[in-house]
Structure 1
Amino acid sequence: MLIHGNCHLIFHVICIIYYLYIAPNKAISRETRRNQQRFFVGIVLQTAIPSILIIFAAGFFIFDNFTHNMTQKAMNIICVAVGFHGVLEALMILLVHRSYRDAVLKMMRRREDEKVSDVPRAVLNLKE
């Protein structure tokens, strides 16, 4: 099943590269094609960078298979790497895709007076 799934993944990536870069459809505007290309590169980065942590963990297991010398320290590093995978994936989504990045930056740049004005006076128990 793993080989079958990977073959499907490779086939679809080859098709995407072919239709986006090698033989693009003339009926699609340049802007749409450019947006599709950016999205494809973003998705590749979004999945490839966190996957490095999983490959790192698999490398430790392969190393242990040959040396039969897995230490507690190495096992702890593997657990931290696998646990950090979700955090890194969320950060990559925010960093890679412009719309998410812009929304987060906009939330972080809110002025202080806008934050205070959103809270009703009754909640603050202020007397007028």
Structure 2
Amino acid sequence: FGLSGRRVLEKRGGLIPVGGVLRNFFRDRVLLVGDAAGMVSPLTAGGIHKAYRFGKLAADAIADHLERDGPHPGTVVRRAYPRLALKHLARWSYDRLPVARALETGILTRDLFRRLAERVFFDRMNGRM
């Protein structure tokens, strides 16, 4: 491939958006998904699973919209995206309340709170992430 003469053209970086899905992540002929749309876990900032899941949903919805005049793909994605209210509250609390850091070091190692953390972080009760 002749990569010996390569050079970096541009570097980019930034914070992972954990504030929730953008209010306007779609319009007319534009649809953002994944990190670009704020579709990440508000607690862990994880987004690969959501990017894949909602990227595929968006692709299917775009095809349906173009081939069969289905609903706008953004509307389809918005309806499918979970609200995550409990996770957003937990993130807000963790960022602002000093007791949250104390919980992290002690209580969360105990079984009851480990299960609670699994529920909040990974939504294991519903089989979703």
- TM norm structure 2: 0.30
More helix by share: 1
Q: Which has the larger radius of gyration?
A: 1
TM-score, normalised relative to structure 1: 0.30
